A = this chain, B = another copy of it.
Amino acid sequence: MSYKLFQEIKHKIADINYAIAVLNWDQETYIPKNGNSRRAQQISTLAGMAHKLSTSKKLAKVLKKLKQDARLSLTEIKNVKLALKDYKKSKKFTTEFVMKESKAISTAFQAWIAAREADNFELYIPALTEIVNIQREKAEILGYKEHPYNALMDQFEPGATINEIDSLFKDVKEKLTPFTQEIFACEKPDNKFMFQHYEHKKQWDFGMNILAQLGFDFDSGRQDLSEHPFTTSFGVKDVRLTTRVNEENFYDMLWSCIHEGGHGLYEQGLKEEEYGMPCGEAISLGIHESQSRLYENNLGRSKAFWKANYKKLQEIFPENLSNTSFEAYYKGINLVEPSFIRTDADELTYHFHIMIRYEIEKKLIEGSIEVKDLKTIWNDAYKKYLNVDVTSDKEGVLQDVHWAHGGFGYFPTYSLGSFYAAQLFNKAKQDIPNLEAEIEAGNMDSLLAWLREKVHKHGKYFTAKEVCEKATGEALNFKYFLDYAKAKYSEIYGL
C-alpha cells in the first residue's frame, strides 16, 4: 500500500511536470507573440505546485516507511532510493533561494540578449557575476567532495567529478590536438553544395523520412518547427521533437533532425509502466547526449548511412547535388576546421569548444578567475586551442545561453555524450555482425534494438557508469572516440 501511495504522489508530480513541458513546448513552437506575457506566470504556478508536492511531508513519510520495507522488488528499491535522494536535494533549498535564483536567471537572460544585440560583453558582466555567485552558493548548499564544481555537475550528470572530466580533457588536449593539427594541414574538402537553396518542404519531408527510418514512432511522438531545436516528452508515448529549416543551409535541418531524433528514440525507449518514477527517466544528460550524438555523428555522418540515403537525397535536390559524387558529399559533410561557434563545429573540434567552457566554469566556481576577465580568457583560449581570432563577443563569449540560465556543469555532458557514443557504437558493431550492411540497406532496426536493450529501457535503474560498463564491458574510455576519429578521418584526409 505504501508503494502505491508513493507511486500516486510521483505520478501527480510527473503529471504537473509534463503539463509544464506541454506549455514550454507550445511556447517554443506555436504561441502567438503576445501569449508569452502570461505563459511564464502559468508555468511558474505549476512549478511551484510540483515543488510543493516534491517536498511534502506526505512524500517524506512514505519514503521513510518504504526504506525499511523488505517486500519491495529491486526496481522498487531503486525508485525509493533515488526518490529519496531527489527529495533530500529539493529540501535543501529554501523558497527564498529558489526565488533569488529564478530572478537572477531572468535578469541575466535579458542582459545576455541586450549584450548580444550590442555585441558587447561588458553589459553582461554584472548579471553574470550574480549568477556565478549564486551558483557558488548553490554548490555549498548542495555539498560536495573535493571541488564545488562537482556539486553543480552532479545536477546534470550524477556522480561525475572533475577528476574524471579533467582526465578526459587531458586526452583531448594530448591526443586529439595533434591529430586535428594534422587535419588542419591538409587540403579542405568542399562543402559549398550544402549552402545552396534547399526548399523548405522538401527538406522537411526528407527529415521526416529519416526519422521514420531511424525508428522514431510517429504514433507516440511528432516533429514540429522551432527556432532552437529541442526534444521534450510528455510521457513515453508522447515525445516531441523540433527542428529548424534554413533554406540556404541544409546542415541546420539535417543535423538537428537526426540529433533530436536520437534524443527522441531514447525517450520512447523508456518504460511506460515506470511513468513518473526514476526508473522511467533518462539517466543523465551525458547518456541522453550519447544517444543524440551516436545518431547524429557515428551513424548520421557515416558512409554506411549515406549509402542508404544519398541517392534519395540527390533525387530530391538534383539541382544542388547531381554534380556531387558520393565521395565528395561524404567528405564535404565531414569537413573538419577551426571555428568560432560551438553549435556549428564538426565532431572533432567540437570538444575544444567544450573544453574551453569547462575550464572557465570550473575556475569561475572555484573563484580563481572573475567574470570581468572572461572575454580575454575566452579569446585567448580560442587562439590557443583553435587558432582563431575572436573579433566579436557575439561570436565569442556571448554565444551560448547556458550560463544565463544558471547551467554551470552542463557543458561537459556534451563531450561525455560523444565519448559514450563512440564506445557504445563500437560495441554495437561488435555485437551486431551485419550492422554496417544493414545500415547501408537503410535498416536501422538492429541498432535501435541494441540501444533499447543496453541503454534505454533501464531508465535510472543503472547509473551512467554502470550502463556503460554493462553495455560495453568497461568504464568510459576516451580511446574509443579517438580510435573512431582516427580511423574515419585518416581515410577522409588520406593521413
Contact = CB atoms under 8 A, between A and B. Distances in A.
Contacts of A46: 15-16, 19, 46
A37 B234 CA distance: 11
Interface string A20-43: 001100100011111101110110
A18 interface: yes
Interface in A214-260: 217-222, 224, 234-235, 237-238
Contacts of A45: 11-12, 15-16, 19
A245 B153 CA distance: 50
A193 interface: no
Contacts of A11: 41, 45
A388 interface: no
A19 B32 contact: no
Contacts of A220: 32-35
A275 interface: yes
A407 to B, nearest CB: 25
A49 B15 CA distance: 11
B237 A35 contact: yes
Contacts of A42: 15, 18-19, 234
Contact of A18 (B32, B38, B221, B222): B38
Nearest to A224: B30
A223 to B, nearest CB: 10
Kindly name the residue among A23, A41, A42, A217 whose own CB sees the greatest number of chain B CB atoms within 10 A.
A42
A217 B234 CA distance: 30
Nearest to A46: B19
Contacts of A37: 235, 237
Contact of A32 (B15, B23, B38, B219): B219
Kindly name the residue among A16, A30, A35, A218 whose own CB sees the greatest number of chain B CB atoms within 10 A.
A35
A38 B280 CA distance: 14
A26 B34 CA distance: 19
Nearest to A35: B238
Given A16-B46, A224-B30, A234 B41 contact: no
Nearest to A218: B32
A275 B38 contact: yes
A9 to B, nearest CB: 11
Given A22-B23, A46-B16, A49-B49, A238 B31 contact: yes
A222 B34 CA distance: 11
B234 A38 contact: yes
A53 to B, nearest CB: 9
A22 B39 CA distance: 11
Nearest to A20: B19
A37 B245 CA distance: 31
Contact of A22 (B22, B219, B221, B275): B22
Interface string A41-55: 110011001000000
Interface in A180-226: 217-222, 224
B19 A19 contact: yes
B15 A41 contact: yes
A355 B450 CA distance: 62
B23 A19 contact: yes
Given A32-B221, A38-B234, A220-B32, A22 B18 contact: no
Interface of A: 11-12, 15-16, 18-19, 22-23, 26, 30-35, 37-39, 41-42, 45-46, 49, 217-222, 224, 234-235, 237-238, 275
Which 5 A-B pairs give the minimum distances between C-beta atoms? A35-B238, A15-B45, A34-B237, A38-B235, A34-B220
Given A19-B46, A30-B224, A35-B237, 9 more contacts: A11-B41, A18-B38, A31-B238, A32-B220, A32-B222, A32-B238, A34-B220, A35-B234, A35-B235
24 contacts: A11-B45, A15-B41, A15-B46, A16-B49, A18-B38, A19-B23, A19-B42, A22-B22, A22-B23, A32-B218, A32-B220, A32-B222, A33-B219, A34-B219, A34-B238, A35-B234, A37-B237, A38-B234, A38-B235, A38-B238, A39-B234, A39-B238, A42-B234, A49-B49
